[in-house]
Amino acid sequence: MNLTSRTKLRRRPDRGSYDSASIHAILDDGFLAHVGFNMNGQPFVIPTLYGRDPNESKLYLHGSAASRMLRELESGIPACLTVTLVDGIVLARSAFHHSMNYRSVVAFGTARKIEDPAHKAKALQTISEHLMRGRWAEVRGPNDAELKATSVLEFSLEEASAKIRTGPPVDDEKDYDLSVWAGVLPIFTVTGQPVPDPRMNNGHQAPEYISAAFKKRC
Amino acid sequence: MNLTSRTKLRRRPDRGSYDSASIHAILDDGFLAHVGFNMNGQPFVIPTLYGRDPNESKLYLHGSAASRMLRELESGIPACLTVTLVDGIVLARSAFHHSMNYRSVVAFGTARKIEDPAHKAKALQTISEHLMRGRWAEVRGPNDAELKATSVLEFSLEEASAKIRTGPPVDDEKDYDLSVWAGVLPIFTVTGQPVPDPRMNNGHQAPEYISAAFKKRC
């Protein structure tokens, strides 16, 4: 990864890393990004799904061809893409040393619109498989009109940093004697039982890959 | 809430709302915001905790006085604060109609630094109680040096919109005959068993308010 003044962590550089493996691991564990861009000097932050091809150092974004965000991004303006996974609340003995355990990636770059329909369909498959492996093969794939109505962008991960905090609280030495419960409250993202569409035939069981989709995140 | 061209939803206005009650309900259910701002034309998106005083239409942000984000924000530059809660993956019969169930708030405004130490301490309490009600009363509160090392900002919610999707997939009429499992995979944020700090006395049980903190989110 390139490292410039905008990527280099100023606060808590001990929590930072810039290697691709750390960055990719966080991106592969998440599925929701917050994308920042400017319109007329006003910053916008919009949540969006993404997909990462394991063989490529880029992310795919998609949405309606009418999306304001995608139309702005595809013009090549500077963007920032952030993914944050919260792992726990760090409960210290003092208010001051409370913290979060988390893994986050902040990536800077520009997006490029994918025009070729075959490449577009492949990128949509990557987003789908990133979110839920096995789904793409089962559903009706996009037809020409749907492909046309969908914008797909690639966002190159040339400049990115990861920030990670793990472990127990770190209190001031004199506070360790206080009779305050200290530790970590773990936070997980989990899935419930799949809820069938009321318009589906009764008795159609949800395939195994649906419940398996998020197991790695529990 | 004020409504201007930057706040008004262009995509899927049917999913939008601008009333304070909808916006506050989402903000009260979440705890992590992604804040967007510019430095030299480059957008930054940084994750941060926040607190909302139930009686006020503003959010509090905090961090190290050395934080780049807080130092930029307190100069009064335009900012965007986004909170996203993911409730489920919407599995349609066609790839095209896949979606997410979610609740999000996008707020535009500027931040203002809180200088008065008593107001600052009160705002920190609001952030702490927002994340975990009951914690503030138990821990050692901030001393003068800690207050000085902490920046606290208030972000006014004058211009904000909420966007919400709920319910089953909506497929093309002809696709309802396909033999594809369709419905929603619910997603929850849950907590695990509190993990005691290894440096704490054995047998010190985690108070009830710790496990209760996120129950409303499950």
Q: What is the DSSP string of B46-89?
A: EEEE-EE-TTSSEEEEEEETT-HHHHHHTTT--EEEEEEEEEEE
Does A111 map to a domain? yes
Closest among B65, B73, B66 to B44, alpha carbons compared: B73
Q: Is residue B190 in a domain?
A: yes
In angstroms, rounded to a whole number, what is the distance separating the alpha carbons of residues B111 and B50?
A: 13
B167-216 residue pLDDT tens: 999 999 999 999 999 999 999 999 999 999 999 987 889 999 998 887 65
| Per-residue pLDDT tens digits for B71-82 | 999 999 999 999
A112 pLDDT tier (thresholds 50, 70, 90): very high
Gap between the Cα atoms of A135 and B146, Å rounded: 51
Reading phi first (left if > 0) and then psi (alpha if -120 to 50, else beta), residue B40 is in left
Q: Tell me if A197 and B169 make a contact (CB, 8 A cut-off).
A: yes
Does position A135 have pLDDT exceeding 70, yes or no?
A: yes
pLDDT reported for residue B3:
55
B6 is a domain residue: no
- Spatial neighbors of A59 by CB under 8 A, at least 6 apart, are A27, A33, A50, A51, A52, A81, A107, A154, A155, A157
Report pLDDT for B215: 63
> Please, where are the H alpha helices in chain B?
20-29, 68-73, 117-131, 144-148, 208-212
| Residue found under tokens 């990861």 | A162
Cβ within 8 Å of residue A12, ≥6 positions away: A163
CB within 8 Å of chain A, chain B residues 163-182: 168-169, 171, 175-176, 178-182
Quote the tokens at residue B71. 């130092």
Residue B12 banded pLDDT, cuts 50, 70, 90: confident
Query: Does a structural domain hold residue A43?
Result: yes
> Quick one: DSSP state of residue A23?
H
pLDDT score for A213: 83
Res A55: pLDDT: 82
Selected residues 193-212 of chain B with any CB under 8 Å from a CB in chain A: 193-200, 204-207, 210-211
Supply the CATH number for residue A65's domain. Answer: 2.30.110.10
Q: How far is Cα A128 from Cα B71, in angstroms, rounded to an integer? A: 39
Do the Cβ atoms of A183 and B197 come within 8 Å?
yes
Between the alpha carbon of residue A184 and those of residues A12, A55, A90, B130, B171, the distances in Å are 20, 35, 5, 17, 43
Mean pLDDT of A183-193: 93
The total number of structural domains in chain B stands at 1
Chain B positions touching A64 (Cβ under 8 A) are 11
pLDDT at B35 over 80: yes
- Tell me the C-alpha distance between A6 and B213, whole Å: 36
Range of the domain at B194: 13-217
Among A60-69, B4-13, B143-152, the minimum mean pLDDT is found in: B4-13
Whether A10 shows a pLDDT value over 80: the answer reads no
Is it the case that residue A195 has pLDDT exceeding 80?
yes
C-beta atoms of B195 and A175 within 8 A: no
Q: Is residue B8 part of a domain?
A: no
Over chain A, what is the mean pLDDT? 92
In the prediction, which pLDDT does A217 show? 47
pLDDT given at position B213: 83
Per-residue model confidence as pLDDT tens digits over A58-111: 999 999 999 999 999 999 999 999 999 999 999 999 999 999 999 999 999 999
Q: Is the ipTM of this complex over 0.90?
A: yes
**What pLDDT sits at residue A3?**
55
A142-173 residue pLDDT tens: 999 999 999 999 998 879 999 999 999 999 99
DSSP character string of A175-217 = GGGS----EEEEEEEEE---EE-TTSPTT-PPPHHHHHTTGGG
B147: left (phi over 0), alpha (psi -120 to 50) or beta: alpha
Contact of B155 with B61, CB cutoff 8 Å: yes
User: What are φ and ψ of residue B27, in 5° steps?
Assistant: -65, -35
The beta-carbon neighbor of B142 closest among A37, A64, A96 is A96
Q: What is the pLDDT of residue A53?
A: 85
Q: How many CA atoms lie within 13 A of A160 on its CB side?
A: 28
CB contact under 8 A, B183 and A197: yes
Q: What share of chain A in percent tops pLDDT 90? A: 80
Q: Say if B182 falls within a structural domain.
A: yes
Tell me the pLDDT tens digit for each residue of B95-107.
999 999 999 999 9
Average the pLDDT over A129-144 and give the result: 96
Query: Is A105:B159 a contact under the CB 8 Å cutoff?
Result: no
- The SS3 of residue A96 is helix
- Partners of residue A143 in chain B, C-beta under 8 Å: 96
pLDDT at B39: 92
Determine, yes or no, domain membership for B121.
yes
- Confirm whether A27 is domain-assigned: yes
A positions 89-128 inside 8 Å of B (CB): 89, 91-96, 98, 100, 102, 104, 106, 108, 124, 128
Q: How confident is the model at residue A215 (pLDDT cuts 50, 70, 90)?
A: low
pLDDT digits (tens, 9 = 90+) for B82-130: 999 999 999 999 999 999 999 999 999 999 999 999 999 999 999 999 9
Confidence of residue B217 (pLDDT cuts 50, 70, 90): very low
| pLDDT class of A18 with cuts at 50, 70, 90 | confident
What residue of A is the nearest CA neighbor of B84? A47
